[in-house]
Amino acid sequence: MAPTVDVLTSELVVPAEETPGGAVWLSNLDLAARRGYTPTVYFYRPNGEPGFFAADAVRDSLARALVSFYPLAGRLGLGDDGRVQIDCTGDGAVLVTARCGAYAIDDLMGEFVPCGEMRDAFVPTAPSPAPNPPCVLLLAQVTYLRCGGVVLGLALHHSVVDARSAAHFVETWASIAAGHDASAQVQPCFEHKLLAARPVPSVMYDHPEYKPDPAPSHAVVAANTYASAIITLTKQQVTALKARCAGASTFRAVVALVWQCACRARALPPEEETRLYSMIDMRPRLTPPLPPGYFGNAVIRTSTVATVGEVVSNPVGYAARRARAATSQGDDYARSLVDYLEGVDAMNLPRSGISRAHLRAISWLGMSLSDADFGWGSPAFMGPALMYYSGFVYVMNAPGKDGAVALALSLEPESMPEFRKVFADEVARLAI
């Protein structure tokens, strides 16, 4: 049942000081990002202190954070050439306060899964013409729960930020709210020309992830047709899994097991091709690396393909090695992709769901929850508020559990019960 939330206030928060005007040019990777908002939620337990997430404190700290991150107070616009850009208008970000008497924080954490109902309750919706120009780029909602706890819901436009940039903004905002010196934070860099195409484009690789699936063997599942779940792996389980995937990172090992179990749960024929899609943060992989505060989209889509039989009949280490093949690209691959996007309509790439045989995995590992402490304690949970379609999986650090990993995933409703069973069986075997 959808939670009932009563909106108390809704306003535009402008930067606390005068900020630059003009336009911010967006790279081909920005244009190729999904055109829409990424909704996330942060759950905070009440700490008994006066002023806990008081509206004035949240508003004032947001206004101060928008001084450095001033493009977020602007609007998505169009240049004279029709290319999408950020118009630095200073019109402000949306801030909503709301109340939900139906939930205490523990109730919510016990029932929460990423879905439309939760997104609609705890993350504000952009007014028309969202998500297309001209539209707001940042929306935030503070929802006060029955127990005194708080849900902070955010919607950031994906044409402007990727997950790393979003985390950078939230960390800075939280630090300001907690009373720390804003000038001590890593400053954002909006020089997107660092990811411009080369004067003479050179496409040296195929980039199938940016092309429509030529002949999907299964119909693409409707965007809203999925079941979602949040599953936690303990530190010991992660360690045991990695031991079976020699040399694999946590992300690759976990995704390998999810991929294997999803193929089984979906009862796909052995000869079926299954593709594992992923996203790679290219900031440290470029030559030279991007500045630490690069603010924009610096991730690229990659993938690897195998038959279902190969994925399910081999030990999990096989799928981990295939996952490595999808997440090992460097500077030359990224530059080839940027050049490829220069020759296509990057603003209108295929962005629908994926075939029922495939999986899309994204790493949010390393985006520390403790860095979202607004002065009243770290969040008890952080994660996506919505899954875009079936076959999506986020791998995240589990809150308050050093070394544990949380999965937020979506599958077809008919596949999810079997996935839970198969996955639980495989995890139980890790202890053997």
Q: Of 161, 195, 229, which closes a domain?
A: 195
Catalytic site residue 207? Answer: no
Whether residue 379 has a cis bond before it, omega within 30° of 0: no
Task: List Cβ neighbours of 215 (8 Å cut-off, separation of 6 or more).
Answer: none
Out of 169, 195, 221, a domain closes at: 195
Range with the poorest average pLDDT among 18-27, 53-62, 271-280, 343-352: 343-352
Q: What is the pLDDT of residue 251?
A: 95
| Same domain flag for 258 and 361 | yes
Residues 236 and 167 in one domain: no
Q: If you average pLDDT over residues 115-121, what whole number do you get? A: 95
Provide mean pLDDT across the span 247-263: 96
Neighbours of 88 (CB within 10 A): 21
- pLDDT score at 324: 87
* Whether residues 31 and 147 fall in one domain: yes
Say if 222 falls within a structural domain.
yes
Is the same domain home to 255 and 367? yes
Q: Do 404 and 278 share a structural domain?
A: yes
pLDDT band of residue 218 (cuts 50, 70, 90) is: low
Contact 262, 410 (CB under 8 A): no
Clarify whether residues 35 and 105 are in a common domain: yes
**Pairwise pLDDT comparison (296 vs 432), residue with the higher score:** 296
Looking at the structure, tell me whether residues 383 and 274 fall in a common domain: yes
Residue 352, pLDDT score: 63
CA nearest 302: which of 324, 318, 272, 317? 324
Identify whether residues 188 and 242 lie together within a single domain.
no
pLDDT exceeding 90 applies to what percent of the chain?
A: 80
- Please indicate whether residue 168 is annotated as part of the active site: no
What's the pLDDT at 422?
97
Residue 224, pLDDT > 70, answer no
Q: For residues 78-96, give the mean pLDDT.
A: 96
pLDDT digits (tens, 9 = 90+) for 142-201: 999 999 999 999 999 999 999 999 999 999 999 999 999 877 889 999 999 999 999 999
Rounded-to-integer distance, Cα 336 and Cα 348, Å: 19
Structural domain total, the chain: 2
List 30, 157, 158, 207, catalytic entry: 158
**Residues present in the chain in total:** 432
- Could you tell me if residue 1 is inside a domain? no
Contacts of 428 (CB under 8 A, 6+ apart): none
306: pLDDT strictly greater than 80: yes
With 80 as the cut, is the pLDDT of residue 385 above it?
A: yes
Domain of 164 in residue numbering reads as 6-195
pLDDT digits (tens, 9 = 90+) for 410-420: 999 999 999 99
What is the enclosing helix (H) or strand (E) of 1?
none
Above 60 in pLDDT, residue 40? yes
Answer yes or no: is pLDDT of 70 > 90: yes
Q: Spell out where 45-179 has E strands.
A: 75-78, 84-87, 93-100, 135-136, 138-145, 150-157
Q: In angstroms, rounded to a whole number, what is the distance separating the alpha carbons of residues 318 and 320?
A: 5
Kindly report the CATH number assigned to the domain that includes residue 71. 3.30.559.10
> Looking at residue 212, what is its pLDDT?
73
Q: Does the pLDDT of residue 59 top 60, yes or no?
A: yes
